Structure 1
Amino acid sequence: MIEHIATEGVSSPEVVDELVKLLQNLTERPRFGELPGGRPGARAGDNRGVPLVCLVREPASAGLLRMLRAHLHGAHPGRVPHAYHCFPDTDETDGAGPAPSSLKRVSAVLVSVARDLSSGANSRYGRHGFPRFELVYWLMNQPAGGDHESGATLFSRLRERHLSTNSGDDLIPREALETGTAAAPWWVRVVLKLAPSFWFRAKLGGLAPGGEYRWLLHQPYLAPHDPGTVVGFAERLGSALVPGQGAESREDPGQLAALLVNAFLEDVRQTYQRSLRRLLSGRRTAYPVVMLDGIRRDNGGYALLKLINDVRNDTGAFDPLVVISGSEKVPPDAAAVDDRAPTPVLQANQAYETWTRKLATNSRTRRPTAWFLPLRVPPVTFEPGEVQPTATLTVRSAPLWSRASVLTVVGILLLASVLALGYWRVDSLLEAASVERANHCGRDKADPNFSTLRMFGGECVGVSSDAIPVFDKVDDARGKKFDNAQNKIAEQNKAVVKAHDEHSERPYATVVYVSALSGQSDDLTTNTARLMGVAAKQAQLLERTGKSDPLVRVLLGNAGRKMQHGGELVDTLRTLVEQDKSIVGVLGMAQSRKPTLDTIAKLGDIGLPVVAATLSVDSIPLNSALYFQVSPNNDREAQVAASYARVTHPGKTGAVIVHSDSDDEALRDTYSVNLGADFDARFRKAGFEVAQAVYNTESGVGKVDVREIGQGLCGSSHQDEVVVFAGRPDEFRGLLDGIASACKDDAPVLLAGDDVMRYVADGQLRDQHPEIAYDVLSFAVGTTACERSTAMYKTMARIFDTVCEDLVDSSLGGQSELAFDTLEVYSHAMLQLKTATFTSGHVWKAISDIGRLRVEGADPGFAPLSGESGEIAFLGGQVPHEKRISVIHVDKYQAPVLVVTCEPDSADDRCRAPEQ
């Protein structure tokens, strides 16, 4: 029997005041952790929990919970989220344990409470969602099927429920969504149709985030691992709440009720979970309160409290839910033994402190009343309008960082920071990539030529399997022809590789065309002609099909406009040679300057033969034993020049040798200095009185310009002299400028060295001074008429889609023939080796043997090579023996004309004129 405690002098405001203080402690959510009340000295994990406050009252005090509800509603500055449920007044029945219908009673109460907590009556951040409880409740209300198709049927219902729940109609009206979908492409409609079903299957299988489904298989009740799938477990729950089809006969009703309660409590737990995904949960500063008024054993009230107690004991999880019950007897069994005697309500807060100290032990021992805090309410009435208690409920303001406006601003700032950082990072990466691309001639890292091309002072230097860009083109038309020539070789390289893959028995090698590439007009014209010659020979080799016919891939190389970056190019080649054993040599080269000679020496150091097209300085072979040239040397050129001048100008007694020089060895034109010295020696030997006129290529005070020398060659004092020019095309133009300005109608006799043929081959340059006649020595003479064109020119016209007449003028310089012959030397050597496997050393030996038959009577394979520029016979040396040299005459206002050609072993007086 319950002991009655004296209640004289206790007023209803005092009772409410004490309970409001208790509610303040229980509902106030701490800033950190989840320990309610903010008790001094309390630690997270220490006696954690919120009690089930059981108000044991007399019938006269029945209005207490309604008054507390009014205080919760009127809390400052906003209401405490709460739900009030009043049990029906039915007759109490005796009996131990839950009544058969207790599951339905408990579920009905939980549905009512969940509806209140999720309703709009609570503030925006006080509303609660119950996805797990709703799922379990829905499953228990599904009719059970008795056939094998019940699983499939339940799956379909689950999917329909999922799709309807996540249809998004609250965001986008269904009509607008259907209209937008109809206008989308067919594949978008298919994706929108299938994606939700696939997503639902992934959530059921645990492959995608799906909290309620995953939780259902991991909660502790009814052994969810039997059978271990959502649909299988759902079948076990089916019809538990369907009238007349209860699952209690198949499953334990207590476990079913515990599952339902645990689902409800888990939803509350998740609502208050602190995580980065739930930043807005920080606005929840008060725990929700559930008031259960009029509970008894026969109406399911006691059963619900007992279930909450048992679930808390089983899970050990903190439930941020304050449950307050009102009853006339002590729940959960209407008994009040001494250790469970209700504490007077005026000592509620002290009773709460005592309860917290015992909670850990009571819960671990699974006491059936571990979570109960019974309080005796004196028999006083509680009517609206009475004097208000001094204590009031306050709800702590949400932290500044959790407010929607602040989070929005912070989110925007974070997003802006991320975007700014991302933009800066991406911009830095793009800038770095752009700089890297610029440093590698505009190539990306994926380009196979990325590592072999580098920018040096505005020039693209290195080796490439396709076109090398030139950035300072002054003539678009010439630049286009130059690019076309490079692209043709790159195109043919692919065909060579393909042919090699298909016919591996054919000799295969790679050579590198190295030159001084620039965008200047004369350089573009010269290199275009040379590349066209190389491309023509490569095309001829491709067209052959014999097993012994060589296949040659041609890489393109640039050492700078003055060959000043030859060292960097050789470093690149050194790496390439280690990676590609098919590289056997270099061809081309340009400008007989010191950088060129140094490059040749370095190429020899890495074991690569060089076959030069136009180099002629006498001392070049001394730089490398692996060096060869298809042009005669300067001494041979000077010998022919002196003989020609003596025969054609017998009345001339003197010769003025015009050449350049420089005190700076790096700027000195070795070609001009050497050819000038050879002219001096040979003209003296031919009986001429020789004088020298030296000009400086660099400007400055005290420097002699070639134009000044041209002006000085006019006058009667030079009537008996031949002016012999040993310089470059652009310098020859300056010489003509000087002569034209002083004596264009009475110009001196002019004879120029071989490099001036580049000037002659340029019609625009020739037309600048058509009134001055001159002769030019040439190492090779191109076609002068289409009907006489050779196979080389016919091949060039075909592969470059150009008519023959377009090639006549540009071919006068013989650049195409000389370049053609450099590749011919390599292919001839490969033929003589008679094997598909060889090294650069084998090729070097085969080249040096060309023409050896003439002096030794050896193997017929050592016969001279009949090239486009003339007969090539190295005789075991490095320079062709008495290579053919021609003389071109440019008369006033006339086109260039071939005057005479001197073949090998011909006497000076037997240099023949061309056939008419």
Structure 2
Amino acid sequence: MTGDRVLSEDRLRGVLDLFERLRERPPRRRRQRLRPLLMLLGPADHTSHVAGLFQKRCEAERAPVSHIAADTLATDVSGVLREAKRELSQPSSHPRGEPSPRFPLLEMALWLRDLREIRLAGDGRPPPQGASPAERENHQLVRRVTHPPVGDNENARRRELNRVIRRRGRDVLRDLEDGPRGRAATFLAFLEQIAPIGVAVVALVSAGTAAAVDLVWAVFAAVIGLAFVTVQILARTRGWYGVRRFGWFLRQPYLGRDSTGFLGFALGVFDARPVEADDHREQLDLLLIAAFLEDLRRNYHRDVRRAAWARVRHPVLIFEHVTAGHVGVRFLELLERVRRDNQDESGLPDVDPLVVTVGVDPAAPAGDGPSAPPGARLVDRLAREFRVDLSQGAAENAVAARGLWDRYRREQARVSALGARRELRVDITRDPGGDLPPVRAGRGRPWLAHPALPWIAMIVVAASSVTAVSVASLRYCSAFQIRRTGSGECVGITDGSFRFDEAGAGEHGPNRLSPVLARLKDQNDAVARSGKPHATIVYIGPVTADPAIKNRQLDLLAGAQGELLGLAMAQAEFNGGSQNLRLRVLVANAGAKFQHGHEIAERIRRLALKDRSIVAVVGFEQSRLETQDAIKVLSKSALPMVGTANSYNGTGLLDRGAGYSPYYFRLAPPNSRLAQHAAYWAREGRVGGRPGRTVDVIYSADSHDLYSADLAESFAREFGRGDVLVRKYDSPGDLDRTVHELCQKPPDLFYYAGRSDEFRSFAYVLQHTCPSGQVILADDEIAKYVADNAPEIGHVATFRLYYMPLAAREAWTPPWVGSARNVFFNSYPGAVESMFGKSPSRDHRPSEVRAAVSYDAASMIAYVANQVFTEQAAAPTAGGVFAALDDPGKGALWKGASGVLRFTGRAQGHQVIDKPVLLATVGADGRVHVEEVCGTLVQTGQARGHCPPGAWGRLK
């Protein structure tokens, strides 16, 4: 039988299959066992051939392998480790796209050994010819450490060595022989480990914060998270971070330990005395091997690093053929000593992934030394080093018996970790005979460990997070309770911290609501700081303009601006005068035209269930279907509601003939009362100076608008249908055509029952189409338009405007109320100046009329809440406030800026008894003049205007 036949690859399938099993890494994360030593028995040419086959198979898969030749130039353990480290770090030892194994602990140990050898050889000795830059630098360092400046010996030594150690710690990932790779390479090496997970976590936290808290906090969380990831990456390029890795040396049993840290340990290695050189050299060799094994453990430890999971083959160290004097024998003996010495936290041998194969002639002698008795063979010498020492089962005395069980358990655990056998022998010279199955292919890299997967996952998560934050930014304007509607409005509830108009002001001019919202926020914060009991009222109204209005000068937010101003004034006045109870105000935006009234009412209802300090809701200024829905929703919560400017006759009516909501109280007169006065003044010549015989009534045909059609119908009924032409419009363009047609034969009076949003278009067409001298009569609805455009209205010569405001400063003058004065109108100029400056923009003035009625609503609720607080000696509740409003007691009334407030019962819808109805006009000077006052403005001393017969002092 020839050697070629015996050593052909086909005849070696068995040993090749065994080799594949040894180096294949288990797929599951479980306790791994140390791989046994594979001894190939045979002459040198046979073992060298098989070693070559092993190396070829590893390199074909780009698996980690190091081949130590039989005639290696390495003469000591450090030389073997240098060669093994070099070959295991080669590109051919790891797949493309995967990082190569790193050996920072071994590099540091080898560096310390080199310094020690240079010092022992004589620090004055020059570097050898052809020395590398690293070797020359080591010689210079030894000279500086050995001969520091006089007078600063120890500090200088430590400082110089520490400087170099920190630099090496910074470059801990690079190979010493490859030359400096720089901080950028170190940065990129850590980037794959940190960036995908860090960015993904930051993205998830940001998306969750955006969905649950606030967009501002989401951005803040993202900035903090990314800053943390960046700091982590940058920190790992610093020397101090790399030095932290070297703390491992202080936990090793070799060379002793130093309490001063790693720098002290390094100095101890450097300063070893020559008399201790032999023992010190063996201890240092053990340390080198321990560092090599620990580096391998860290490279293969399955933690957050993807590369560790991608390594499916154990690293292989192949000794081609050894004899008794070969350095590989010394290495293997020390290797097993280190494995026995190293223990994990449970006291068991610490498993490393290294697979070792060695070729040895079975007849080779063991050599000299205490480990090789005369006549022993080398193979038996190696086998003794790799055996598992167990108890021989000798009998113990009765006292020592108590420790037998613990010893037995430790031995069993040791066998479990090391295996029952620590070496496998294969005689490669024997002819196996017969055919063997093919060598099984090893498992491939799991797809979850693909190099691109972390980056793909990071991109997907980050993109999802950006999408989530973007959706949140579209869905929510700021805080979670402020939602962005499909039309772009921001609706929700705020304590003043969110500025509704800022969300859409952009480049269109100043924010008219921000100053008053800021004032409310400051006053609410003062309530919280006071620590005193408080009652909360919620204002609900259209706080944003119609998104279709692109010109901010046409937003007509004077009404909302005025109502918020009135709330702020009432709050400041009450909190400044109340000894104990405080008033808190929340603002709920229901959107332009109250489109989101139902949704916001539901939010208020839920909030009231959590916050029992909410005692009432005020506002509801627009008479629309959505307002009715909001009132019905809030009625279910038994929250008292006070309407400010809502004048629809059926406001507050519940479904199925249930009558008016018992919880709704209205400050504005109903349309029937307003129409009665308007028709009377028109017929009697109080409007325009001449009796009106023909009237054209214009109203909005919007099916959701309850106010316009109701007012038009009420006026036509009161005036007399035979003399009234009623025309509706569906859109501003339709209104233009209608007015143009009516101007062909103008009436004595135009009665405008439409909305203020379209009044500008109505007035413009009237001014340029109808003959001069036209008279317009309108309701309080256009008070918002007047607030922004009074000077322009006064300068128009084509028509004269009369309207019926719910309140007016001009009514509180001696001709009407004598010497009576009202706190609100006295304080109003100062309040406007404090929030909007001395000269607010003429098209951004708050509506004084709406400020007055909202002031009345808030002041009345505050007064009642304080009364309940005083009587019950406890924080007021919504039920207590409602009871006081519903049954105030005989003679109870409130003196408001819009008149004396005293309500009827539920059957009449809680209307204000004898509520004042005013007639005002805009003069040529742009000032408002009150022409008529009907109803109880003050209790005594009020002049009586020209009022419908029987309307004074009675409820219509």
Whether 2:880 is the aligned partner of 1:815: answer no
Distance 1:792 1:583 in 2: 27
How far the C-alpha of 1:488 sits from its partner, in A, is: 2.7
CA distance in 2, matches of 1:234, 1:595: 80
Residue type at the aligned position of 2:934: C
User: Structure 1: how far apart are the matches of 2:422 and 2:713?
Assistant: 117
What is the 5 A alignment of 1:797-812? 797-803=832-838, 810=845
Q: Which amino acid aligns with 2:569?
A: A
Cα distance in 2, alignment partners of residues 33 and 779 from structure 1: 94
Which residue number corresponds to residue 455 of structure 1?
Answer: 485
Is the contact between residue 609 and residue 844 of structure 1 (CA under 8 Å) also seen in structure 2?
yes
Report what 1:645 is aligned to.
Answer: 682
- CA offset at residue 867 of structure 1? 1.8
Match of residue 207 from structure 1: none
Q: Residues of 2 paired with 1:122 and 1:800: CA distance?
A: 72
1:578 positional shift = 1.1
Are the structure 2 counterparts of residues 278 and 131 from structure 1 closer, same or farther at C-alpha, using a change threshold of 3 Å? farther
Q: Distance in 2 between matches of 1:431 and 1:838?
A: 45
Distance 1:320 1:824, change over 3 A: same
Separation in 2 of the partners of 1:328 and 1:651?
137
Q: What is the match of residue 699 of structure 2?
A: 660
Which whole-Å CA distance do the structure 1 matches of 2:102 and 2:588 have between them? 74
SS of 2:772's partner is helix
Query: How has the CA–CA distance of structure 1 residues 574 and 165 changed in structure 2, closer, same or farther, with 3 Å as cutoff?
Result: closer
Preserved CA contact (<8 Å) 1:533 1:796:
no
Partner of 1:610: 641
Pick from 903, 906, 912 the counterpart of residue 874 of structure 1. Answer: 903
| 2:595 counterpart (564, 567, 579) | 564
For residues 540 and 68 of structure 1, do their structure 2 counterparts lie closer, same or farther at Cα, with a shift above 3 Å needed?
Answer: closer
Listed as ranges, the matches of 1:512-551 within 5 Å are 512-515=539-542, 517-519=544-546, 520=549, 521=554, 523-542=556-575, 544-548=576-580, 550-551=581-582
1:865 is matched with which residue?
894
Q: Are 2:772 and 1:745 aligned?
A: yes
Contact 1:159 1:200 in 2 (8 A): no
- Report whether the alignment pairs 1:624 with 2:661: yes
Residues 508 and 552 in structure 1, CA contact (< 8 A), matched pair in contact too: yes
The TM-score with structure 2 as length reference comes to 0.61
Match of 1:493, SS?
helix
- Residue identity matched to 2:568: A
Q: In structure 2, do the counterparts of structure 1 residues 263 and 596 end up closer, same or farther at CA, with 3 Å as the change threshold?
A: closer
Q: Is 1:898 aligned to residue 926 of structure 2?
A: no
Deviation string 1:437-472 (CA, Å, 9 cap, x unpaired) is 3112x22xxx3xx13535254333332223453599
Gap change, CA 1:612 and 1:456, over 3 Å in 2: farther
Report the 3-state secondary structure (helix = DSSP H, G, I; strand = E; otherwise coil) of the residue aligned with 1:882. Answer: coil
Q: 1:728 aligns with which of 747, 755, 763?
A: 755
Query: Structure 1 CA distance, aligned partners of 2:292 and 2:517?
Result: 78
- Counterpart in the other structure of 1:427: 463
Moved more, 422-431 or 272-281: 272-281
Match of 2:952 in 1: none
1: distance between equivalents of 2:674 and 2:843? 24
Q: Give how far 1:576 is off.
A: 0.5
Partner in structure 1 of residue 881 of structure 2? 843
2:473 to 419, 425, 437: 437
* Structure 1 residue 690 displacement after superposition: 4.2
Q: Which moved more, 1:622-631 or 1:281-290?
A: 281-290
Letter in 2 for 1:846: A
What is the aligned partner in structure 1 of residue 536 from structure 2? Answer: 509
Report the 3-state secondary structure (helix = DSSP H, G, I; strand = E; otherwise coil) of the residue aligned with 1:660. Answer: strand
Note the alpha carbon deviations across 1:148-176, whole angstroms, 9 max, x for none.
xxx99999999799658656495998899
Pair 1:671 & 2:684 matched: no
The answer to whether structure 1 residue 597 and structure 2 residue 628 are counterparts is: yes
Unaligned regions of 5+ residues in structure 1, if any?
1-9, 37-43, 56-63, 88-106, 145-150, 181-187, 205-209, 343-351, 378-395, 912-916
Identify if the C-alpha distance between structure 1 residues 331 and 592 changes in structure 2 by more than 3 Å, giving closer, same or farther.
Answer: same
Aligned match for 1:758, one of 763, 784, 788: 784
Within-5 A mapping of 1:165-184: 166=169, 168=171, 170=176
- Runs of 5+ in structure 2 lacking a partner? 25-31, 60-64, 94-100, 121-153, 187-230, 342-348, 393-420, 430-438, 654-659, 815-820, 937-941, 949-956
Shift of the 799–334 alpha-carbon distance from structure 1 to 2, 3 Å rule, reads closer
State the Cα distance separating 1:65 from its structure 2 match: 9.1
Change over 3 Å in CA distance of 1:833–1:839 after alignment to 2: same
Q: Which moved more, 1:109-118 or 1:301-310?
A: 301-310
Provide the rounded CA distance (Å) in 2 between the counterparts of 1:319 and 1:162: 32
Change (3 A) 1:66 1:114: farther
What is the aligned residue count? Answer: 753
1:514 alignment partner AA:
G
Report if aligned partners of 1:291, 1:323 keep a CA contact under 8 Å in 2. yes
Q: 1:161 to 1:16 in 2, by over 3 A?
A: farther
Indicate the residue corresponding to 1:49 in structure 2: 37
Q: In the TM superposition, what is the alpha-carbon distance from 1:504 to its structure 2 partner?
A: 0.8
Deviation, structure 1 residue 568: 1.0
Residue 390 of structure 1: aligned partner: none
Residue 198 of structure 2: aligned partner: none
Post-superposition CA distance 1:331-351 (Å, at most 9, x none): 5657559xx7x9xxxxxxxxx
Report if aligned partners of 1:869, 1:884 keep a CA contact under 8 Å in 2.
yes
- The aligned runs of 1:461-476 (5 Å cut-off) are 461-466=491-496, 467=498, 469=500
Q: Does structure 1 residue 633 correspond to structure 2 residue 676?
A: no
Q: 1:723 to 1:423 in 2, by over 3 A?
A: same
The aligned residue for residue 583 of structure 1 is 614
Query: Percent identity among equivalent residues?
Result: 18
Larger of the two Rg values belongs to structure: 1
- CA–CA distance in structure 2, aligned partners of residues 123 and 475 of structure 1: 60
Q: Return closer, same or farther for 1:304/1:241 CA change in 2, 3 Å cut-off.
A: farther
